[in-house]
Amino acid sequence: MHVDNLPTGSVSAPPQGGPQPAGRQPVVTARRVAKTYGRTRALAGVDLDVRAGEVLGLVGHNGAGKSTLMRVLAGLEACDEGAVAVGGREVPPGDVGPGATAFRTVRMAYQETSLCPHLTVAENIWLSSRHDLPRAGWRRAAAAAVRRRLDEMFPGHAVSPRDRVEDLSLARRQMVEIARASLVDRLDLLILDEPTESLGPDAARSLYDHVRRLAAEGSAVLLISHRIREVLSVADRIAVMRDGAVVAERTATGLSEDEVLTLMGAEVAAPTEPVAPATGSRPQRRVVAELRGAGGHGLHDVSIRVGAGEVVGLAGLAGQGQQEVLERLWRPVRRDTTVEGARAYVPGDRQRSGVLPLWSVAENLVVTAMRGLSRYGVRRRAEERAAVAHWVERLAVRGGADAAMTELSGGNQQKVIVARAFASTADLVLLDDPFRGVDVHTKTGLYALIREEAARGRSVVWYSSENAEMAHCDRVYVLRAGRVVAELTGAEITEERIIAVSFAESGSDPESEGAPR
């Protein structure tokens, strides 16, 4: 269990280095920081200043070292080489780890939340902020504090301090994680690791409004995200990481998305236009999965059909029934649902339902393919190794087949989970926001992978929180409040059209988990 550091004391004078903008002295400084995990060199001599009153955007490929650097800057892990200074004071190697006094003014919100799932929201707040809360009546004080902060950050969040974390949706858990990280009397640096990957557009806008207020009040915010446009819209400065080092720093004003992608590596500047479905006349597709007026469990008279070799998208604001459709197709136990053949499922919450953390990359990847690779029920190790090598190379999984899953970045973990589904013999692959936390270069390859698998006759049903991704589908169903409100095909499938349909007739259900009101 991780308990965050808490603020005490004052920030000392910054180190005497190069010129700094007035009022923006470094609150945390890294110099020649290196970190190695086994055979993986995660950081290779990082130099970085995070300054008071600024939003610093940190971008880079999956596995570039961003999350490792954040853990070092937050004082959760010691660096193998180099030094970290907080408030101008170099941190001794022994003053690192949960509870380290030197990092009490630094807080971090994790991409994969650090909350205790079996405790309530208020109890989680007590664990991380107990030094700032009264011992008598702590439960009431923790509940009031988190409710107030959630109201500030995410109006209409619909989270109760009495809710158990495990009962919250992924989006609401992320809201609590971010609010928890900011609940301190004094905050010099707030680190946000992919904060909006689980949030809808309204919640993301509310969060970034709060980030701007924090910076205006003098706190520093370090923002990690693969959503380059979002980073550019809120950041004052951009730092680019590649192969474990910061390779460029730029002022965000006037910087374009293409320029950032080029700094991340020339290969990502390749066109990322949708891989268009094949055109021309086609025979009528055989229906392999169908919902016929499905109801119950968040659905209201939903009718959806999936043809052989077809990529079907589920679009709309987050939490409008998309996951319920995927769940119904995954477990077709009702008479209103019919599914032919085997199925594979890529869950949206990889930590709870996707990753097998005690297993290696190879074991995670091949577990669903064993039956297809075996002969007469006997495993064929050579075929398994060949399949693992193929997918590790095809998706460029950093760390390789023998790496432990816990050593991988979130994006590389997601690659393994996606590969596991497509390595199986499933006729129907169900994808719940599969590219959450995946860099733009990898996304382009995965889009092509989906189209290639569809061309071979495999069917895909795909929900994405990014409506622009739906352009890679043959057909898209837009859901609102558990109902299908539009079926789009061909040229109709545009981000603008999906958004217009999603907000038509007064918008989404206020209980939508990703679009708070």
pLDDT digits (tens, 9 = 90+) for 287-324: 999 999 998 888 999 999 999 999 999 998 777 889 99
pTM of the model: 0.68
Percentage, residues of the chain above pLDDT 90: 36
Residue 158: count other Cβ atoms within 10 Å of its Cβ.
17
What are φ and ψ of residue 410, in 5° steps? -60, -40
Least confident among 130-139, 224-233, 347-356, 457-466 = 347-356
Q: What is the pLDDT of residue 270?
A: 41
Q: Give domain 26-105+186-269's CATH architecture.
A: 3-Layer(aba) Sandwich (3.40)
Q: Give me 359's structure tokens.
A: 């297993």
Q: What is the pLDDT of residue 94?
A: 66
Higher pLDDT, 244 or 12: 244
Average pLDDT of the chain is 82
Instruction: Give the model's pLDDT for residue 383.
Output: 85
Q: pLDDT tens digits for 475-509?
A: 999 998 889 999 999 889 988 888 888 876 433 34
The mean per-residue pLDDT over the stretch 324-337 comes to: 91
Amino acid found at 170:
L
Q: What is the mean pLDDT of residues 149-168?
A: 92
For residue 439, the model assigns a pLDDT of 74
CB 415 within 8 A of CB 397: yes
Q: What is the mean pLDDT of residues 56-83?
A: 88
Torsion 73-217-101-150 (CA) sign = negative
Structure confidence at residue 316 (pLDDT): 86
Q: Give whichever of 8-22, 111-125, 231-245, 423-437 has the largest mean pLDDT.
A: 231-245
- The more confident residue out of 2 and 463 is 463
The H or E element containing residue 201 is helix 201-216
Two domains, one topology: 26-105+186-269 and 271-341+427-517: yes
CATH class of residue range 271-341+427-517: alpha beta
Which of 18, 66, 55, 44 lies closest to 224 in space, CA to CA? 66
Q: Give the mean pLDDT of 77-99.
A: 81
Which candidate, 393, 288, 386, places its Cα nearest to that of 340?
288
Confidence of residue 75 (pLDDT cuts 50, 70, 90): confident
pLDDT band at 262 (very low <50, low <70, confident <90, very high): confident
**pLDDT computed for residue 47 by the predictor:** 93
Residue 506 amino acid letter: S
Distance in angstroms (rounded) separating the CA atoms of residues 139 and 147: 12
Q: What is the DSSP letter of 162?
A: T
Greatest Cα-to-Cα distance within the chain, rounded to the nearest angstrom: 73
**Alpha-carbon gap, residue 44 to 50, rounded angstroms:** 18
Query: Which residue from 130, 110, 127 is spatially nearest to 119, judged by alpha carbons?
Result: 127
Percent of residues, the chain, with pLDDT higher than 70? 87
Sheet of strand 311-315, all strands in order from the earlier edge strand to the far edge: 343-346, 428-432, 459-463, 311-315, 475-480, 483-489
Domain edges within the chain: 26-105+186-269, 271-341+427-517, 357-426
